[in-house]
Amino acid sequence: MTKKTSLILSVSFLFILALILLLPKLNQARLIEIKNSQTSAPLAVSESGSKTFFASKDNSQKINFLILGAAGAGNDAPDLTDTILLAHFVPAEKKIYLFSLPRDLLVKIPGSASFTKLNALYAINKNNSGREFDLIQQKVQEITGLTINHYVFVNLTAVKNLVDILGGVNILVKKDIIDTAFPGPNHTYQTFAIKAGWRYLDGETALKYIRSRHSAGGDFDRIARQQEILQAIKQKVLSLRIWNIGTFFTIYQSLTSQIKTDLNLLEMNDLWQDVKGVPGENVIKTELTDPNLIVTGEVVLGDETASIVKPRAGLENYKEIRKYIEEITK
């Protein structure tokens, strides 16, 4: 296999990793924005001579990724980042701490006196070219107390495209799903149903399988289904041979059309080398919906009454949330 093909595979698997850590939902046909980041950590040469993503040989540096997912064109509210995850990677411990932030958290828009839901900050700023992630990055940093080093913004349509490129995937559905409130076109609902057992899914069905909110498990229940789909995708990619180079490039092009990130190609490849050995039990998942941290309520946003959540300590008071995160990651 050529170095170029190996790089494409590494990059593809990094995107898959981002999705595994992820979530539902992006926008615009040509979203790729892979570039040099001014906040990127310099690459260091290890004792073996290979480059790593981190500046220190002992991997003492920690790094935080903001991982966002949006529904994309063809869906209601295509630009709302309904999945907002912060991944805190500690290489010295080979651990990833994954925090899911409530999409309905009522927040003050940075630089404004107005309030909105956390999941709307990207949509508000999306036309601010080159700065479209500034608002949501700033607010997530305020909420968590962690500095965001990089972002990955993914359209889950990428999963649909990958499954179709690979001719479908075989999945063991662990229990029946009957979701009568799955989002449909024009603010409607439709029923998504799938029986337990081995099922061969096309792209459209796979996308519904990982987007359905039919469970009490919230984002992390959907993440478990996403992991199943993406593990199946990974196995099918690994089964490809060198003469399938056309498929490799189709996969790469599909991913780059659905993903926006400030990581460049070499950084993505090197990061993959750092994180691929992290065992599953070292991915610590936490959903910031503990009633000791968050309370529910209703407010009028625009002309409609909207359900929201806010810190128990008070609106825009993130002290308890920060302390909670600090305790988990220390």
Reading the block at residue 114, the tokens are 């107005």
**Residue 52, pLDDT score:** 47
**Residue 30, pLDDT score:** 28
Distances (CA, A) of 270 to 46, 133, 238: 12, 24, 19
Half-sphere exposure (CA, 13 Å, Cβ side) for 183? 18
Q: How many CB atoms lie within 10 A of CB 215?
A: 14
- Helices in 26-133 by DSSP H: which ranges? 121-125
- R_g over Cα of the chain: 20
Quote the pTM value. 0.74
- Helices in the chain by DSSP H: which ranges? 3-20, 121-125, 134-144, 157-165, 203-211, 218-238, 245-256, 265-275, 319-329
**Residue 15, pLDDT score:** 55
| 55, 41 Cβ separation under 8 angstroms | yes
**Residue 112, pLDDT score:** 92
pLDDT higher for 30 or 10? Answer: 10
**Residue 116, pLDDT score:** 95
pLDDT higher for 88 or 223? Answer: 88
Domains of the chain from N-terminus onward: 3-157+252-291 (3.30.420.590)
**Residue 34, pLDDT score:** 35
pLDDT category of residue 200 using cuts at 50, 70 and 90: very high
Q: State the amino acid at position 157 in one-letter form.
A: T
| 297, 305 Cβ separation under 8 angstroms | no
Burial status of residue 144 (CB atoms within 10 A of its CB: 0-12, 13-18, 19 or more): buried
Highest-pLDDT range among 153-157, 172-176, 223-227, 236-240: 172-176
pLDDT category of residue 218 using cuts at 50, 70 and 90: low
Residue given tokens 């909670």 in the structure block: 324
